[in-house]
Structure 1
């Protein structure tokens, strides 16, 4: 028997803010709460967005150009617009999860970042045709990491993103949402009051049960050992928690190992300091992402956009610099590029699009950002994002946060 969805798909939305509101209405409160919350008081997640509003643009009244290009080359790949899908774990906002996001990335010609905590396997995601970069935390022993890198390469990924800044702060002032160990009858009964009013979301996640008789799970298939079962989210977290933190020698080993296995770009995500960026260059990385983990790491870390210019100026053209954190509009993308980033990575923005309307919602978010970039280029009378420079912005005194500046040589003598 074929079941028809009684709820129509959401229509097109004109901004990321509208996508967020639709996601809020559609999702159970714990799921939506997990998307918007930051660590501790939420100082960093708030500053990620507020900092963009401190930057102004300097438009021309005449001289706008009829054709404008957003194409750029980053991490060895040419993409149509400087917006990349950042890897995010366990995408419980939609049953198609990372597969829907990857299809949207492929449709819009950009890079798909896939978390090793994802709810879909790397094989399923690369089968979409998306240019996929596999993301790894420093978890497990080296043999386990080699197995995961090899699997990612064999699946056809085009690069590796190492995220090493995660501290998983448990102290959220508003409380942390409940995440069940697994979706079984007991968990469903306990969580029923929180999801009973979210008919569309329940219908979507009931599809797998209607078609296969199996309940959706919360496992991490990309962490499954060869021939073994995938761990739950908490199992994956336990592995991370019991793995000693990496050293710079470990970063160099990870990069060298990936080069031996794949030969494709190695990107270090979560860089906030100039000295760390320079160490990353020494370690041989192809690129870095300036990021505070979306405000979900060490609260009080400055907004990512405040750290872009000092870091990009320090590393110059030795490696590609991207940033993530707080991007909600095309003008945000333009501001990041003007300060030295080659591209931006988005997380919450596309998750809201996914929740609002699946693959089409993610494409919608990418289109909204691309449209905003084009509008800004037109107003600035530029023909390409490659022409963006700090002088196209109004930057208040003291905006930048230059953390970890090397000590001048004369001061050390």
Structure 2
């Protein structure tokens, strides 16, 4: 009995010393998700997986990829394969970039850890203006950082935020306009505290006390999860608003018009000296054409990962029509449901320059910090390479719809009159 107790205590001490040493590498994004679920307090994990309302869109984002099939070759495979490309003026080693996501409290280093991992794998970091780390900190560790903004605050405030991002070294701007922050979830919404203080920690202690690895990560750095947004801080202010303060600013800002989108492009061009501008959240062909007219450099075919209007089709269903309509004018990327390298290949074959990932790297961050994010990118790279090998291709530039088997009725041409669809 005493020996058994001593053994248990020795295991606990070993886990507390460094719980991350136990089999840190994972072979798939699915395993990263499993580890994130085990490590994170319930509300934190719930915030990463939840979609709006019944979750129809978040499910379709992933399910749609399974409807597309490959037709592999049995011989004639290429010994060397390249997946390097360029996106918005940046050379990247694979067609996968980091999508901006808000307050990354799953790890004490948050966005800085993600940015370092992306830099080590030669790709772009998207940084949310709702992030928990400043644009200056993130640009310092990844010189391929793109700053993201919502349409929040008055025009003077928005220009000030653009100028700050440009001064910090941001290589481009991402404007996200598809966000409605739907609160209604059929399974219930996870609790997001206004701030993490002593009262909050006491109240939520039962949900976090058993998460030894998560607590150890924060305890090691002597920090607690920071739910403020430094990139929304007023000039000279010590701290930015809380998440709910940022939400209130968005909620009280009049929604943008297409003239406002053009104004954002013009202002970013002015303060940055002509660096690229991406509009994120496009699902319709008519919106894509209006975005081109407004002056954007790139668009992201995105439905906010299923966290916006539930019932929106999977982005991979909408991609081909948008890419066909505007792909010769601007660069097109896809965001939504990417979990495997084969998903990346399918998106590129249907006209995407690259894909943006969100939940996948957040699970990696929760599972193993910076190394976990790098692990996710490595898993996707390996999957891309396997797909290219199987189809006998030597480069992602050779991908086209011809390498895919796509069922009838798969594509969605939103914003196109019915008589013009094909």
Shorter-normalised TM range = over 0.9
TM-score under structure 2 length normalisation: 0.93
* TM superposition shift of 1:77: 1.2
- Tell me, yes or no, if the aligned pair for 2:105 and 2:226 is still in contact at 8 Å: no
1:216-253, CA deviations, whole angstroms, 9 ceiling, x for partnerless residues? 42100000000113101110000000000000000000
The 5 Å alignment of 1:143-292 reads 143-209=156-222, 215-228=224-237, 229-262=239-272, 263-292=274-303
Give structure 1 regions of 4+ aligned residues with deviation exceeding 3 angstroms.
3-7, 406-409
Contact between 1:47 and 1:303, CA under 8 Å: does it hold in 2? yes
Provide structure 1 residue ranges, at least 5 long, that are not aligned to the other structure: none
Tell whether the 8 Å contact from 1:10 to 1:356 is kept in structure 2 after alignment. Answer: no
Pick from 381, 392, 403 the counterpart of residue 392 of structure 1.
403
Shift of 1:206: 2.2
Query: Is 1:296 aligned to 2:296, yes or no?
Result: no
- Counting only pairs closer than 5 Å after superposition, residues 293-372 of structure 1 correspond to structure 2 as 293-372=304-383
CA distance in 2, matches of 1:119, 1:377: 37
Q: CA deviation at 1:332?
A: 0.3
SS at match of 2:21: coil
Kindly indicate whether the alpha-carbon contact (under 8 Å) linking 1:9 and 1:357 is maintained by their aligned counterparts in 2. Answer: no
Cα distance in 1 for residues equivalent to 2:145 and 2:28: 26
Q: Kindly indicate whether the alpha-carbon contact (under 8 Å) linking 2:143 and 2:171 is maintained by their aligned counterparts in 1.
A: no
TM-score calculated relative to the size of structure 1: 0.95
Q: Secondary structure at the match of 2:141?
A: coil
SS of the aligned residue for 1:70 comes to coil
Cα pair 1:10 1:357 within 8 Å, conserved:
no
Q: CA deviation at 1:316?
A: 3.0
Q: Could you tell me how far apart the structure 2 residues matched to 1:286 and 1:26 are?
A: 39
Residue 317 of structure 1, CA deviation: 1.3
Size of the aligned set, in residue pairs, is 403
Contact map agreement 1:102 1:130 (CA 8 A) in 2: no
CA distance in structure 2 between the aligned counterparts of 1:7 and 1:320, rounded to whole angstroms: 39
Secondary structure of the 1:321 match is strand
**Separation of aligned partners in 1, 2:19 and 2:189:** 32
The 5-angstrom pairing of residues 83-94 of structure 1 reads: 83-94=96-107
User: Quick one: distance in 2 between partners of 1:191 and 1:102?
Assistant: 30
Uncovered stretches (5+) of structure 2, i.e. residues with no partner: 1-15
C-alpha displacement at 1:208, in angstroms? Answer: 3.6
CA displacement 1:94-144 (0-9 Å, x = unmatched): 111000000001000100000000000001101103410000000000000
Q: By how many angstroms is 1:32 displaced?
A: 0.5
